[in-house]
Structure 1
Amino acid sequence: MTETPVTPDLSVIIPCYNEGENVPLLFARLIPALEALGVTFEVVTINDGSKDNTLERLLEMQKAEPRLRVIDLSRNFGKEKALSAGLFHSRGRAVVPMDADLQHPPEAIADMLVKWRDGAEVVFARRDARTGQKLSEKLFAKGFYWVFDHLSEVRLPREVGDFRLMDRKVVDTINRMPERSRFMKGIFAWVGYREAEIVYRQGERAAGTTKFNAIKLLRFAFDGLTSFSNFPLKVWSWVGAAISTLAFLYIVARLIRTMIWGVDVPGYESILMSVLFLGGVQLLTLGIIGDYLGRVFDEVKGRPLFIIRQLYEPGER
């Protein structure tokens, strides 16, 4: 088998979490697709604290494929951190992150390379449709993109995930970014550079089930928004001003009414509603401030993005 050069033409990065069933299916398509490109390549896989036999399957694949490198993290750090680990350890002149479930077709990398050779430094892979998703999930995605575009200075390309090609200079720029709260789609868009795109048809998940549920997706969306926008902090100044204005107008109206018609019996319901409404606004405001403060806390601690238990290079075992 061909040995991987120190600086291959292409690095493919694949974060894996409980993807043991998908590993053999993935490499059965990935390696032939990469060999057909006529370039030198490496495949960097990251075992993100899997609880199944993902690591064992990857190491089995490495015995027959010397261009496969396996990074075993000490625990589950999440996809964004695992992807960052792959970017840090990639060596290729071009880098392509992709998922392990074959929803990202390896054959599409050939089209990305064409755009890259034509001068593009970032090549987006835009899905033509969301395969295997419920209507509620599709509507949630559309809503998230709309909110992100209107509240953030960074515009996310529509229907584009982590599947893309990046030039070495782009990856080096991302690796120099010190932030620990990482929303990779936003980071990929923020760095800029010359862009191009291809369109691909998203496949069905080869095996297993998705690791995201509604709560995780909602938290992921909120993390993305707060990573690239301080609008959730600023908006409460306007909310407070609006509530204060309405309260002042209400006070004036009550004073005029009292002077004209006298004092009436105060309403218990109106007082209760006012207290509950203002209390809810205050708690919501504190929660959002707490989220931003937590991000500052994480940055100040300066802990590493991830911890590698072992890096399995070909031929070292």
Structure 2
Amino acid sequence: MKKLSVIVPAYNEEESVEIFIEEFLKQTSQLPLEKNFYFINDGSTDNTLQIIKKLSAKYNYVNYISFSRNFGKEAALLAGLKSCDGDYVTVMDVDLQDPPEMLNEMYKKIVEGYDVVGTRRVNRDGEPIIRSIFARMFYKLINRISSTEMVDGARDFRLMTRQVVDNLLLLQENNRFSKGLFSWVGFNVTYLEYKNRERVAGETSWSFLKLFRYSVDGIVNFSEVPLSIATYIGLFSFLGSIILSIFFGVKTVVFGDSVQGFPTLVILLLLLGGLQLLSLGIIGKYIAKIFLETKKRPNYIIKESNIKNLF
């Protein structure tokens, strides 16, 4: 029987872990695959790790990795992909916002010949309105300025073949944006749609600010257009200054009108100063990414695990 590896990042999810396993096994009982769970404890400060360890002692199909601190979901996904050995791999949230029963249909699509079967939400019911608006804006923007298409509403929840996972692991960058990486590797992909679900328990650790920063990282990682914007700002500012110089020079010589110096000077200084700072900020973001990449720091540090040959 072929294996299914289930990668589950967890950060302060003590209320959800046991519910997740119970519901997953119930909803996928007809799936003709041997199931193995890979819980990634991302520096939880509650009893998440203790609950996972209790389950791993009870069931031999429950594996876990525990980080030395919180490294973020991207690091947890990478750790799961590196440690799993299944013929098929799925990534799921422990809060059951990713419906486990969809794996039955996803597996059928894999059997039909697809390499990746992703999922996308057709609505965002239950989310704050401002978050939904910004999410839609992000997908519209990223698909305009990036050559890597990202599906609006797509989740990390997907079923992949071993070949896809092996190629994802060839991407060694430290600044990771999985939604973009999943799209970048290509292969034969299809998506299944579903309506948004509420968390089964607990509260999300994703604040609006964290999501905003995450979206900025996605834009920087998968588009060079912001750098071009900084260049165009400089070009238009230069051309604008030439045009204004000619205009006021001609006006003074021909009509004898003196230029109102103080207001004009203040406006130009504020305009050019703001444009320069904006351009420097854009360039600085890219330089910061380069700086982090050159350090070659590991994406995460494992404190403990029950997976053999991991260390």
- Asked if structure 1 preserves the Cα contact closer than 8 Å seen for 2:118 and 2:158, the reply is yes
Which letter does structure 1 place at the counterpart of 2:77?
L
Q: Does 1:291 align with 2:281?
A: no
Pair 1:104 & 2:93 matched: no
Mapped contact 1:105–1:202 kept (Cα < 8 A) = no
Q: Deviations over 1:28-76 (max 9, x none)?
A: 2012233331311211110000111110111112222210100101111
The reply on whether 1:31 has 2:25 as its aligned counterpart is yes
2:203 aligned with 1:209: yes
Match of 1:42 in 2: 36
Partner of 1:176 in structure 2? 170
Determine the C-alpha separation between the residues in 2 that align with 1:43 and 1:9: 11
Q: What corresponds to 1:145 in structure 2?
A: 139
Of residues 270, 277, 280, the one that matches 2:274 is 280
2:244 corresponds to which residue?
250
AA at the equivalent of 2:179: K
Match of 2:80 among 78, 82, 86: 86
How many angstroms apart in 1 are the aligned matches of 2:121 and 2:273? 44
Offset from partner CA, 1:228-270 (integer Å, 9 cap, x none): 0111111121111112112111111101100122252533122
Describe how 1:227-266 pairs up with structure 2 within 5 A: 227-264=221-258, 266=260
Give the stretch that moved more between structures: 210-219 or 32-41.
32-41
Give 3-state SS (helix, strand or coil) of 2:101's partner: helix
* Pairwise CA RMSD: 1.5
Listed one character per residue, the Cα deviations across residues 139-158 of structure 1 (whole Å, up to 9, x for unaligned) are 11110001000111101012
1-side partners of 2:57 and 2:64: how far apart? 11
Question: Deviations 1:10-37 (Å, cap 9, x if unpaired)?
Answer: 1110000111111121112012233331
Displacement of 1:304 after TM fit?
A: 1.2
Quick one: distance in 2 between partners of 1:280 and 1:247?
15
Decide whether the 8 Å contact of 2:66 with 2:305 is kept in 1.
yes
24-33 vs 169-178, which deviates more? 24-33
State whether structure 2 residue 47 is matched by structure 1 residue 21: no
What is the rounded CA distance, in whole Å, between the counterparts of 2:26 and 2:156 in structure 1?
A: 22
Any gaps of 5 or more consecutive residues in structure 2? none
**What TM-score does the superposition give when structure 2 sets the normalisation length?**
0.95
C-alpha distance in 1, partners of 2:139/2:221? 14
Query: For 1:94-133, what aligned pairs fall within 5 Å after superposition?
Result: 94-133=88-127
Cα displacement (A) at 1:183: 0.3
Distance 2:181 2:14 in 1: 29
C-alpha distance in structure 2 between counterparts of 1:85 and 1:124, whole Å: 20
Distance 1:235 1:129 in 2: 32
Unmatched tracts of structure 1, length 5 or more: none
CA distance in 2, matches of 1:36, 1:66: 20
Q: How many residue pairs get matched?
A: 308
Counterpart residue identity of residue 304, structure 2: Q
Q: Which amino acid counterpart does residue 270 of structure 2 have in structure 1?
A: L
Q: Which moved more, 1:54-63 or 1:264-273?
A: 264-273
What is the alpha-carbon distance in structure 1 between the residues aligned to residue 63 and residue 297 of structure 2?
Answer: 25
CA drift at 1:200: 2.4
Deviates more, 1:141-150 or 1:292-301: 292-301
Contact 2:230 2:282 in 1 (8 A): no
Shift of 1:176: 1.3
Aligned pair in 2 of structure 1 residues 263, 65: CA closer, same or farther (>3 Å)? same
Identity of aligned residues (%): 37
1:55 is matched with 49
Distance, in Å, in 1 between the alignment partners of 2:82 and 2:157 is 17
Q: Which runs of 4+ in 1 moved over 6 A?
A: none
**CA–CA distance in structure 1, aligned partners of residues 290 and 195 of structure 2:** 39
Query: How far is 1:215 from its partner?
Result: 1.3
Matched, 1:71 2:65: yes
